[in-house]
Amino acid sequence: MKPFDYTAAQTVSQALAGGGAGTAYLAGGTTLVDLMKLEVMTPGKVVDINRLPLRGVSADRTGLHLGALERMSDVAAHPLVADGYPVLAQALLRSASPQLRNMASIGGNLLQRVRCGYFRDTAAGCNKRRPGSGCPAVDGENRGHAILGTSDSCVATHPSDLAVALVALDARVRLVGRSGTSREVRLADFYLLPGDTPEREHDLRPGELVTRVTVPALPWATRSAYLKIRDRQSYEFALASAAVALDLRGGVIRDVRLAVGGVGTRPWRLPAVEDALRGRAARPEVFESAAALAVEGARPLAHNRFKTTLLRRTVVRALTNLAESR
């Protein structure tokens, strides 16, 4: 690990004033510290933001509000989340390990870096880490990589389970800048496709912090779930996942929210699948037909062609499980 300056901020304005080029912000540190040890990230300054008043889980008529510094395990266990938005609780509990969930923050989870092996290997080229150095995964080992939203410059999957569930629920992030001004951005728009600039992963501008996440009020989100398919049952990233909320009345799908993970360069909302489900009976053939739309535009690679089939089956299974639940 390379030397760096360390400071602990007491307020948001102090944290932002201490930022700038070459600065990293430390919350739980479960990603940052690893990448600093590998010298994938080499900030000259680290600003500890754990003392900032960015905590709390609350709900009002506008929706559910999560402080950016809330720990993942605390949010998953909170009754407002576990009872009102089980898809969020399940996505959190299927992330990482208990030890990491006890440390990792909500904001940090949403900003975590990709887990592509080439990104983490400083001896390899990687356009995210060193723009213009190429993407070895395109022709190399790519079993766990994306089939949706890829470009010739990057095929890395987005790593966050929580982000998939939040995108399904149309969540927004609140961003505060140095001047004290704030803005809210839909999380689905916050994440950027790699295109020719894969080093730009999100719309967080210089001098901004994520301070809060808001999930719009959705009474029928009580019938929601997160299904994660992976090589092992803990401490593993998704090969495919689906976050689903279902408004089911009289056996008919009145409304639905659906996003998938493990297959896209960002959390991938499926509006065509949602449209194919609305107003239809909750039957296997309806789920199968709608799920076929999930892979539109997919660009599988040499080692991850199985993900097209896996994605369809994951969507069908998630819908079936939820429709059959009480």
C-alpha–C-alpha distance, residues 113 and 108, integer Å: 10
Residue 160 to residues 90, 100, 209, 243, 249, Cα–Cα distance (Å)? 13, 13, 18, 12, 31
Token duo for residue 206? 């210089």
C-alpha–C-alpha distance, residues 94 and 313, integer Å: 19
- At 318, which helix (H) or strand (E)? helix 306-324
The reported pLDDT for the residue numbered 20 is 82
pLDDT (tens place) for every residue of the chain, 326 residues total: 999 999 999 999 999 998 888 999 999 999 999 999 999 999 999 999 999 999 999 999 999 999 999 999 999 999 999 999 999 999 999 999 999 999 999 999 999 999 999 999 999 999 999 999 999 999 999 999 999 999 999 999 999 999 999 999 999 999 999 988 999 999 999 999 999 999 999 999 988 999 999 999 999 999 999 999 999 998 999 999 999 999 999 999 999 999 999 999 999 999 999 999 999 999 999 999 999 999 999 999 999 999 999 999 999 999 999 999 97
Instruction: Answer whether 0.75 is exceeded by the pTM.
Output: yes
Task: Please answer whether residues 198 and 145 qualify as being in contact, where contact means their C-beta atoms are separated by less than 8 angstroms.
Answer: no
Query: Could you give phi then psi for residue 17, rounded to 5 degrees?
Result: -65, -30
Token duo for residue 321? 């499980």
The reported pLDDT for the residue numbered 179 is 85
C-alpha–C-alpha distance, residues 258 and 264, integer Å: 14
Which residue in this structure is represented by tokens 């790699």? 194
Beta bridge partners of 177: 208
Token duo for residue 67? 């402080």
Q: Which domains does the chain have, with CATH numbers?
A: 1-47 (3.30.43), 221-324 (3.30.390.50)
